[in-house]
Amino acid sequence: MISVYAILIALIVLVIYIAAYMLHGKALLERRVVKADPSRLTPAWEKFDGVDYVPANKYVLYGHHFASIAGAGPIIGPATALAWGWLLPLIWVLFGNIFIGAVHDYTSIMASVRYGGISVMTISENVMGRKARYIFLAYVYFALILVLAAFLSVASSTFAVLAPTAATVAIIYMPLALLFGILVYKVGLSVKKATLIALVLMVLALIYSLNAPTYLTYEGWLVVLSLYSILAAALPVWYLLQPRDYLNAYLLWSFVTLAVIAPFFLVPTLTVTGPAIRSFAATGGVIGAVGAPSKWEIAWFWPTVPLVIACGALSGFHSLVGSGTTSKQLSNELDALFVGYGGMLTEGAVSSLAVILPGALVWDFAKAAAALGVSTDLIYKAGINLTATPTILEFAGAARFYTAYGFAQALAWSRVVGVEAFPSLYKGFYAFAAWALTSFVLTTLDTCNRLARFAWTEFFDWLKPRAPGAYKVICNRWVASIIPVLLGALMAYPRLPDPADPTKIIYAYMLVWPAFSGTNQLLAALALLTTTLWVYAILKVRGGPAMLMLVPALFLWVTVTAALIIWLALIVPYLPALYISTAGVIVAISVALDFALIVLFVRGLLLARRAT
Amino acid sequence: MKAKEVVGLLVTIVALVLLLYGLFYVNLTRGGIGVKGQVATDAILVAAGFLLILLGPWLWLGEVPVAVRKFIEARTGRKIEEVKR
């Protein structure tokens, strides 16, 4: 077997990202496609309201966009995709990230900015007609409620069961973010000084929280986090969202930087211990099959990979953030590339450099440890039983990520401070990885609720001229923030026996959750088709630059549609009745909707061609 | 000071007291806040502090920072009205 140096792969990935940003992002999308103009006033200035439309510093907005789009997706998905080996997921993350994800993030922001800050769903009316807009809005609203339910549940479980110390970090972190905002906006302290104060306090808070767990039950956290989501989504962005996400970006950057520096640069001689390609067809369990199909090799890398890797490569949710909260805070059109395209590349870096590569590096724990003289005894002391779990594939989802990240970091730093420190280093970095994931999840939670509020308001805009009083009540920002959280919490609260395995207890939202990955990726395809049509029909871009958007958009639509059809044909028939009537029906409706919207897209494209 | 600002200041003080009580007194004396698997009073108080600290300073300090409002007015040439809370 050829030895592949991890540092070499890390360097290739970094060079690809830099080249993509300069050539594909700046030279093509910004200058030739969108033609960003710094002199044009953005909606943040023109429609400033002090709550949602507020211009933000580009680094602050980058932090917001990056932290909001991240969620748990760029971590859990690539960790699960290691079932195909490490090379195939890495290729998909790089390709999807650059040619699809970064494009839909950037163009969603820019299209929204040019239309006064409205969502990509409402923009679709201009290129695909009024029906498309309302179908799109309703679809997105229910998808957001599902995300709220899932993230309320994930965060509550993490705080209540997995990491009570992460709850303490969150409790301390919010007042720190407020303090930062007050220091900058009210006291008038420079951003640099305020950042320094906040970061020092943040590090102290992290250290203090290591031995300060906050215990509350799952239901208790569900109530607290629901109230938090309502408040955070209705309060002005400058007050909580901007300072919190700005500080969050530092935490997330430290997380990515450590992931790159420690295992690759501290010990450049390390080689990966995992297989580049394990199989082109993983078992059905990887894409959510239960029963017999979970053991069949039906999860073909293409077209099912988008059902496994979402946010790290592409995601419909990103277009909602881009054309929802981000576009309303963009201060200058030239900032959009750094915020949207750059933010998405950073997310890809989380997947490729902080999840897939550490996984590839420590895949075979004993082999990776032996390369640096760490004994099996020390690994056992760290809490890993090599007999039961010899490779990272024995861990599932989040635990696979925590273990790979913690192990790779501990290996590298034990080289500096001594191998005896391996167990404590592993535990510390394992906790750090859990904090990073929680901070992604909490940020996404309230951004999601704010987006649901925007979708709700846009859905009822027809009421404004007809019954202004009713519109004012229905679209009041507090009312519109409470409704989605209530619905989400109602789906995250009830427990029932899993119809697929009655000995297991699941939360109600989990019945429909298997449908989410497919519908989210479908949304990405629809959002990219919408912005592609905007570029083609409204901006009148033709030739190579137009094709560089059109081809990936159609490729994505075909891929996701094929994956969903596989899911419907091979997985749904074997699901218990309750799953078929929930997740199965949602996927079937999504596929029908998918075909309806592609017809509207093709019609829009033909109309635009005829018009020129 | 307007009534809502006074309320905001009071809420902020209460929130800070609750958070400091939980994070320092309770944690340092008992090695953690709350009881595993239960809804304990000290955990409820800290959770209340966590939520109140989000509301208090907002009521106290106002919706739009004056500096931001003036900056927007200078650049756009339009008068910004205070958004009702």
Reported as a single tens digit per residue, the pLDDT across A26-42 is 999 999 999 999 999 99
Task: Report the length, in residues, of chain A.
Answer: 612
- Backbone Cα Rg of chain A: 23
Residue pair A347/A74 in contact (Cβ under 8 Å)? The answer is: yes
Q: What is the DSSP string of A388-447?
A: T-SBGGGS-HHHHHHHHHHHHHHHHHHHHH-GGGHHHHHHHHHHHHHHHHHHHHHHHHHH
Which residue, among A455, A411, A407, A352, has the nearest Cα to A138 in the 3D structure? Answer: A455
- For residue A521, give the DSSP letter: H
Indicate the helix (H) or strand (E) that contains A559: helix A544-566
Q: Which of residues 21-80 of B touch A (CB under 8 A)?
A: 22-23, 27, 31-40, 43-44, 46-47, 49-51, 53-55, 57-58, 61, 63-65, 67-69, 72, 75-76, 80
A210 in contact with B at a CB cutoff of 8 Å? no
Q: For chain B, first and last CA: distance in Å?
A: 16
Q: What angle do CA A192, A193, A194 make, to 5 degrees?
A: 95
CA distances from A166 to A159, A162, A200, A322 (A): 6, 9, 18, 28
Give the model's pLDDT for residue B84: 47
**Pseudo-torsion of CA A192, A195, A196, A201, nearest 10°?**
170
Q: Tell me how far apart the alpha carbons of residues A603 and B3 are, in angstroms, rounded to a whole number.
A: 58
Q: CA of B55 to nearest chain A CA: how many angstroms apart?
A: 8
Q: Tell me how far apart the alpha carbons of residues A227 and A61 are, in angstroms, rounded to a whole number.
A: 25
CA distances from A529 to A173, A262, A434, A459, A558 (A): 39, 40, 36, 21, 12
Give the model's pLDDT for residue A2: 59
C-alpha torsion sign, points B45, B47, B50, B56: negative
Give the model's pLDDT for residue A268: 81
Which chain A residues are within 8 Å of B25, Cβ to Cβ?
none
Which residue, among A374, A245, A307, has the nearest Cα to A559 in the 3D structure? Answer: A307
Give the model's pLDDT for residue A445: 86
Please determine, for residue B81, whether its predicted confidence score (pLDDT) is greater than 70.
Answer: no
Give the model's pLDDT for residue B65: 65
CB contact under 8 A, A215 and B38: yes
CB contact under 8 A, A238 and B65: yes
How large is the ipTM? 0.89
C-alpha torsion sign, points A273, A276, A282, A287: positive
CA-nearest residue to A186 within chain B is B65
CB contact under 8 A, A224 and B23: no
- For residue A179, give the DSSP letter: H
* Cβ contacts from A onto B, under 8 A: 112
Q: What is the DSSP string of A419-430?
A: GGGHHHHHHHHH
Which chain A residues are within 8 Å of B46, Cβ to Cβ?
171, 214
Give the model's pLDDT for residue B66: 67
Give the model's pLDDT for residue A475: 94
C-alpha torsion sign, points A282, A286, A288, A293: positive
Residue A160: how many CB atoms within 10 A of its CB? Answer: 21
- The pTM score is 0.89
Give the model's pLDDT for residue A556: 95
Give the model's pLDDT for residue A402: 85
Amino acid at B30: R
Q: CA of B60 to nearest chain A CA: how many angstroms apart?
A: 11
Give the model's pLDDT for residue A6: 83
Give the model's pLDDT for residue B85: 45
In the structure encoding, which two tokens stand for residue A260, read together? 């790159």
B19 in contact with A at a CB cutoff of 8 Å? yes
In the structure encoding, which two tokens stand for residue A160, read together? 């209540």
Which of B17, B30, B33 should be substituted to probe chain A, the one whose Cβ sees the most A Cβ atoms within 10 Å?
Answer: B33
CA distances from A378 to A155, A245, A384, A389, A406 (A): 31, 38, 9, 15, 14
Which residue, among A439, A369, A358, has the nearest Cα to A403 in the 3D structure? Answer: A358
Residue pair B83/A203 in contact (Cβ under 8 Å)? The answer is: no
Give the model's pLDDT for residue A457: 93
Q: Tell me how far apart the alpha carbons of residues A524 and A153 are, in angstroms, rounded to a whole number.
A: 24
- Backbone Cα Rg of chain B: 18
Closest partner residue to B34 (CB to CB) among A216, A227, A240 is A216
Q: Tell me how far apart the alpha carbons of residues A406 and A383 are, in angstroms, rounded to a whole number.
A: 12
**Domain boundaries, given as residue ranges, for chain A:** 6-127+143-289+315-494
Give the model's pLDDT for residue A468: 94
Supply the angle between the helices A544-566 and A301-308 in degrees, to the nearest 10: 90
Q: Tell me how far apart the alpha carbons of residues A287 and A304 are, in angstroms, rounded to a whole number.
A: 8
CA-nearest residue to B55 within chain A is A231
CA distances from A163 to A172, A221, A300, A461, B75 (A): 15, 13, 35, 43, 47
Supply the angle between the helices A585-611 and A516-533 in degrees, to the nearest 10: 10
In the structure encoding, which two tokens stand for residue A34, read together? 């969108």
Q: For chain A, first and last CA: distance in Å?
A: 57
Token match 């720190």: residue?
A: A176
Q: What is the DSSP string of B5-70?
A: HHHHHHHHHHHHHHHHIIIIIIHHHHSSBS-TTS--HHHHHHHHHHHHHHHHHHHHH-SS-HHHHH
Q: Tell me how far apart the alpha carbons of residues A28 and A267 are, in angstroms, rounded to a whole number.
A: 37
Band of residue B82 on the pLDDT scale cut at 50, 70, 90: low
Q: Is A275 left (phi over 0), alpha (psi -120 to 50) or beta?
A: beta
**Pseudo-torsion of CA A398, A402, A408, A414, nearest 10°?**
-170
Closest partner residue to B32 (CB to CB) among A170, A213, A232 is A213
Q: What is the mean pLDDT of each run of 10 residues along chain A (612 residues)?
A: 78 95 97 95 91 89 88 80 94 96 96 94 83 85 88 87 85 89 83 90 86 92 95 89 84 83 79 92 89 91 93 90 95 96 93 87 89 88 90 84 88 89 89 78 85 93 93 94 94 85 84 82 90 93 92 95 93 89 88 86 89 74
Give the model's pLDDT for residue A135: 84
A211 in contact with B at a CB cutoff of 8 Å? yes
Three-state secondary structure call for residue A277? coil
Task: Report the length, in residues, of chain B.
Answer: 85
